[in-house]
A and B are shown apart, each in its own frame.
Chain A
Amino acid sequence: MIVEWGAFFQVLLATLIGACGVVTLYSLGLRLIDSDDVRPLRRAAGIVCLVLCGLVILYGVYLVIPFFHQG
């Protein structure tokens, strides 16, 4: 039995970074865009977080579609 532990830990690490990254960005976005605190800088930072989160999800769509990365 050959277990590719290297590949497994890569998957674990990638999942950890990807998922926790998206959840952190989205949570920060929700926290910063607060109807009780409308300082423009805070709001802008919140929007940046949501946009970054959206980009990561778009990267996921890119990965799902083979056309984009297999010739």
Chain B
Amino acid sequence: MHGGHATVRLPAVDITVMVVLVIVLALFFDFTNGFHDTANAMATPIATGALKPKTAVALAAVLNLVGAFLSTEVAKTISGGLIKEGDGGIQITPVMIFAGLLGAILWNMVTWLLGLPSSSSHALFGGLIGAAIVGAGFGAIDGGVLLSKIVLPALLAPLVAGLVAFLATRIAYSVTKKKHRDGFRRGQVFTSSLVSLAHGTNDAQKTMGVITLTLIAGGFQASGSGPEIWVIALCALAIALGTYTGGWRIIRTMGRGLTEIEPAQGFAAETVTAATILASSHLGFALSTTQVSSGSVIGTGIGRKGASVRWRTAGRIAIGWVITIPAAGLVGALAAWVALGGLAGIIVDALVATVVIGGIFIYSRRNRVDARNVHVEPTVLVRPKKRGKKNKQGLPR
């Protein structure tokens, strides 16, 4: 295995098999990333009727596809400094990436089932952290970076977006009279499209990074080189397909579950989301799109007189954010621990994950949400009926 100060004990499974597995998982993660985040851009135009549900997800899918091809620069490290990589740190092996991806995917599936918007990047970081702790101990994690790059921005993102969305909503309602406000529907299409495009340029790139760094680690690609064209194309397709599939449960929570959204509010919320994402990615203070977007919706709910925010739903979403990293980390750690058993362990991991994902999918059919019933108020959605311990099985034990 790789050298370095803290040599990872994870087994040396045939590297080609491992790299192929990681690529498949990374693409599936990209797909879940797509359907998880459709809501960020398209929940409000769907809620106000500015776009038909199917049209909205098709538009978002196309913009994500285009966005993925527009921005292909890959990060130097897989964890953005969260895990001490490289000189003096640990080497993140394909096995760790495999386990981390499993954690991220399963957490994305569980939060989708619950209709909770949660950050896919946080899920990925959580999974990797869990796997790295099993592989190399707690010393592998940079706690300061975790606080300053993840925890604090997660608190600030909804605050910034919420505050600005509140003000923007007030402006929209004080400048216009009731008879003008239908015109905001047309504007919503543009601002939501901008959010979608920004998402495509941001998020597909992350998966390209994971795959490219894995190929480099496996010796299939020169160190420091950019993503291969087939990697770019596959990542773009996976995120677009995921976006088109539409995380209808999350769209329903964001568009209906938090507050009633009128066109002027939808316009204000998406404008704020776009502005916050653009400002944060260009001025060097990274904020999570999902958290910004949820904050905007809540802010616009407070901003319109007569609207009410369902704080219980907001609270559940917040709890989801808090446990995203630990939960994905736990699954990542378990998967890494099982993977210590070599090829057999990795096969067990893959089988268990397939069964759990299939189980979540079958369970979701009981209470189906799609383009047709996305406008129905989510009463049971965020808290599905409790049927014994069924829900707990979302995490492999």
Contact of B160 among A15, A53, A60 (CB under 8 A): A15
CB pair B283 A7 closer than 8 Å: yes
CB pair B175 A24 closer than 8 Å: yes
Q: Find the residue from A2, A12, A30 having the highest chain B CB count within 10 A.
A: A30
CB pair B148 A3 closer than 8 Å: yes
Q: For chain A, residues 9 to 40, give those with C-beta under 8 angstroms from any C-beta of chain B.
A: 10-12, 14-16, 18-20, 22-24, 26-31, 34
Q: CA of A4 to CA of B201 in the docked complex: distance in angstroms? A: 24
Q: CA of A10 to CA of B275 in the docked complex: distance in angstroms? A: 12
Instruction: Kindly supply a per-residue 1/0 record for chain A positions 31-56, scoring 1 wherever the CB is within 8 Å of any chain B CB and 0 otherwise.
Output: 10010000000000000000001100
Question: How many B residues have CB within 8 A of the partner chain?
Answer: 47
Let me know if B362 is at the binding interface, CB within 8 A: no
Contacts of B161 in A (CB 8 A): 15
Contact of B70 among A18, A20, A24, A67 (CB under 8 A): A67
Contact of B171 among A1, A27, A61 (CB under 8 A): A27
Q: Find the residue from A12, A20, A23 having the highest chain B CB count within 10 A.
A: A23
Report the minimum CB–CB distance from B271 to chain A (whole Å). 5
CB pair A30 B168 closer than 8 Å: no
Residue of A nearest to B264 (CB): A27
Contact of B194 among A8, A57, A67 (CB under 8 A): A57
Q: How many A-B residue pairs have CB under 8 A?
A: 119
CB pair B70 A19 closer than 8 Å: no
Let me know if B190 is at the binding interface, CB within 8 A: yes
Given contacts A1-B148, A19-B168, A23-B172, contact A8 B156 (CB under 8 A): yes
CB pair B175 A18 closer than 8 Å: no
Let me know if B272 is at the binding interface, CB within 8 A: yes
CB pair B70 A66 closer than 8 Å: yes
Contacts of A15 in B (CB 8 A): 160-161, 164, 272, 275-276, 279-280
Q: CA of A18 to CA of B271 in the docked complex: distance in angstroms? A: 8
Report the minimum CB–CB distance from B293 to chain A (whole Å). 13
Q: Which secondary structure characterizes the binding site on chain A?
A: helix
Given contacts A64-B198, A65-B71, contact A30 B184 (CB under 8 A): yes
Let me know if B282 is at the binding interface, CB within 8 A: yes
Given contacts A15-B164, A57-B194, A64-B201, contact A31 B176 (CB under 8 A): yes
CB pair A24 B148 closer than 8 Å: no
Report the minimum CB–CB distance from A11 to chain B (whole Å). 5
Q: Which secondary structure characterizes the binding site on chain B?
A: helix
Contacts of B283 in A (CB 8 A): 7, 10-11, 14
Contacts of B181 in A (CB 8 A): 30
Residue of B nearest to A8 (CB): B285
CB pair B175 A11 closer than 8 Å: no
Contact of A1 among B73, B144, B165, B287 (CB under 8 A): B144
Let me know if B388 is at the binding interface, CB within 8 A: no
Question: How many A residues have CB within 8 A of the partner chain?
Answer: 36
Contacts of B291 in A (CB 8 A): none
Instruction: Kindly supply a per-residue 1/0 record for chain B positions 180-195, scoring 1 wherever the CB is within 8 Å of any chain A CB and 0 otherwise.
Output: 1101100100110010
CB pair A64 B278 closer than 8 Å: yes
Residue of B nearest to A63 (CB): B278
Residue of B nearest to A16 (CB): B164
Report the minimum CB–CB distance from B157 to chain A (whole Å). 10
CB pair B184 A24 closer than 8 Å: no
Query: Interface residues, chain B, CB within 8 Å of chain A?
Result: 67, 70-71, 73, 144, 147-148, 152, 156, 160-161, 164-165, 167-168, 171-172, 175-177, 180-181, 183-184, 187, 190-191, 194, 197-198, 201, 264, 267-268, 271-272, 274-276, 278-280, 282-285, 287
Query: Interface residues, chain A, CB within 8 Å of chain B?
Result: 1-4, 7-8, 10-12, 14-16, 18-20, 22-24, 26-31, 34, 53-54, 57, 60-61, 63-67, 70
Given A4-B284, A22-B191, 7 other A-B residues pairs in contact with their CB atoms under 8 A: A4-B148, A10-B283, A14-B283, A15-B164, A31-B176, A57-B190, A63-B282
A–B complex contacts, Cβ < 8 Å, 7 sampled: A10-B279, A11-B285, A15-B279, A27-B172, A63-B278, A64-B198, A65-B201
